[in-house]
Chains A and B, each alone.
Chain A
Amino acid sequence: MSENVKRDNPPRPSLKSLEDKAVWLSFVLLAIGLHVFEATLPSLGPWFKLGLANIMTLLALVMLGARAAFMLAIARVVIGSIFIGTLFTPTFFISLAGALTAATVLVILYKMFPRMSLISLSLLAAVAHMSGQFIAVETWFIQQPAIYYLLPPLLLLSCISGWINGAISSYIWQRLKKERL
C-alpha cells in the first residue's frame, strides 16, 4: 500500500527548493521590469545602456548559483524583448549576445574566484557585455572591424555603470544577508 502511494505521488520538493524557485522567479520579474524601464529612459548614446537588469543577475549568482544566473540572463532578454517589441530584431540578438557573454564571464569568474567582490564581478561583466555586443554587431551585421573604433569610449562608460551596478548589488546583498539572519 505504502509503495503504491509512493509510486503515484512523486516526492514533494523541499521547502528550500521551492523558496529558491520563488526567489528566482521574483528576480526574473524584477529584471524584466528593469529591462523594460531602461528601454523607456532617454539613452546616453545609441550604443549605451546602464544595464540595471544585471543587478538581478549578480544577485542570482551569489544567492542561487551559476545556473540560475545564466537562465535569468536569457529569460530577461527574451521576455523583456517581447514587452519592448524587439523580439528577433537586431536589437534582440545584440542584447542576447551581450547578456550571454556577461553571464558566462560572471559564472567563470565566480567559480574561479569565489571571494571576488560584486563590484569587481560587475566591472568585468560590464566590459564583457559591451565587448560581446560589439563582436555580435561586427560578425552578424556590419562586418567591418572599423566598428571597434567606437569601443573605447563605450568601455569607459561600461566601467562606470559596472561599478555603480556592482555597488547597488553589494548593498542589496548585504541587506538581504542581514534580513536572513
Chain B
Amino acid sequence: MTSENNHPKTDTVSFRQCLKGTWTDRILLVFLLIGIAFLWFQIEKTLSHGLPTAYVYHGKTLLASYPLPKGDKVTHVAAEGEIGVSDIEISKHGIHFVSSPCTTHYCMLSGHKKHTGSVVACVPNHIMVVIRGASDDTQPHFDAVTE
C-alpha cells in the first residue's frame, strides 16, 4: 500500500462543472424566477390603467403630475429636494433628469424613460419620477387634466 492511498482522493472540479450547479440549485433558481415573473406581472397589471402620466415626488409629497405629451411640447419641472433643485424634462421622449445637484448623477445617466412603471430617482435629493398608466398609443390623449 503506497502512502498516496492513505489520503482521500479528491477530484479536480472544473469551473464549468461548478457553473452548472446541482439539481437543488436549479430548482431554487426556477422558483425564484417564477416568483420574480409573478411580481413583475402584478406590477404591470396594476400600472396599466389610464393615461401615461409622470408623477414627480419629493419624499412622500407629490410635487406635480403631467400626462406625457405626444407633440413637441417640452415641460421642465424644477423639483426642489434635500440638496438642491433637480431639473426634470417631460417630453414625447419620456421623462429625463436634465440636471441634478447629486454627485453620482445616476439619475441623469438613466436617460429617457417613457413606459409605464418606469422610475427614475435621485436618491441623495429624495426626488423620484414615476410613470403610471397605459403606454397604449390608441388611447385618447390630453395635454393636461384640470379639476
Q: Name B residues whose Cβ lies closer than 8 Å to a Cβ of A.
A: 7-8, 10, 12-13, 15, 18-19, 21-22, 24-25, 28-29, 32-33, 36-37, 39-40, 43, 47, 55, 57, 59-60, 103-104, 106-107, 109-110, 117-119, 121, 123-124, 126, 128, 130, 132
Question: Smallest CB-CB separation from A124: which chain B residue?
Answer: B28
Whether B24 contacts A117 by the Cβ 8 Å rule is yes
Question: Is A181 among interface residues, defined by CB-CB distance under 8 A?
Answer: yes
A residues within 8 A CB of B18?
119, 167-168, 170-171, 174
Does B119 contact A119, Cβ atoms closer than 8 Å?
A: no
With A and B bound together, what is the CA distance between A141 and B25 in angstroms?
35
Q: Check B123 against A144 for contact (C-beta < 8 Å).
A: no
Residues of A within 8 A of B29 (CB): 123, 159, 163
Question: Please, how many angstroms separate the alpha-carbon atoms of A151 and B106 in the complex?
Answer: 17
* A46-B106, A174-B18 as given contacts; A159 in contact with B121, CB under 8 Å: no
A-side binding surface: helix, strand, loop or mixed? helix
A-B contact count (CB 8 A): 107
Q: Which residue of A lies closest to B21 (CB)?
A: A119
Scan residues 97-126 of chain A and give those whose CB is less than 8 A from a CB of chain B: 116-117, 119-120, 123-124
Interface of chain A residues 138 through 181 with chain B (CB within 8 A): 141-144, 146-153, 155-156, 159, 163-164, 166-168, 170-171, 174, 177-178, 181
Q: Which of A47, A166, A170, A177 is in CB contact (< 8 Å) with B10?
A: A177
The verdict on A28 contacting chain B, using a C-beta distance below 8 Å, is no
What are the residues of chain A within 8 A of B33 when measuring CB–CB? 156, 159
A155 to B47 alpha-carbon distance, docked (Å): 19
Instruction: Report Cα–Cα, A152/B119, bound state, in Å.
Output: 12
Contact A119-B126, Cβ < 8 Å, known A144-B60, A170-B18: no
Chain A residues close to B by CB (< 8 Å): 46-47, 89-91, 94, 116-117, 119-120, 123-124, 127, 137, 141-144, 146-153, 155-156, 159, 163-164, 166-168, 170-171, 174, 177-178, 181
A152 touches B39 (CB 8 A): yes
CA gap between A43 and B39 in the complex, in Å: 25
B43 touches A149 (CB 8 A): yes
Q: B13 contacts A155, CB within 8 Å?
A: no
Contact, CB under 8 Å: B57 / A144: yes
Partner of A142, one of B39, B40, B59, B106: B59
Q: Could you jot down 12 A-B contacts, CB within 8 Å? A: A47-B106, A90-B124, A91-B104, A117-B25, A123-B25, A146-B57, A146-B130, A147-B121, A152-B43, A164-B19, A166-B21, A166-B25
B108 to chain A, nearest CB (A): 9
Contacts of B55 in A (CB 8 A): 146
> Quick check: B32 and A123 within 8 Å, CB to CB?
yes
- Beyond A152-B39, A163-B19, 16 extra complex contacts between A and B, CB < 8 Å: A46-B107, A47-B106, A120-B25, A142-B126, A142-B128, A143-B126, A144-B57, A144-B60, A149-B118, A152-B36, A159-B29, A159-B32, A164-B19, A166-B25, A167-B21, A171-B15
Are B36 and A155 in contact (CB-based, < 8 A)? yes
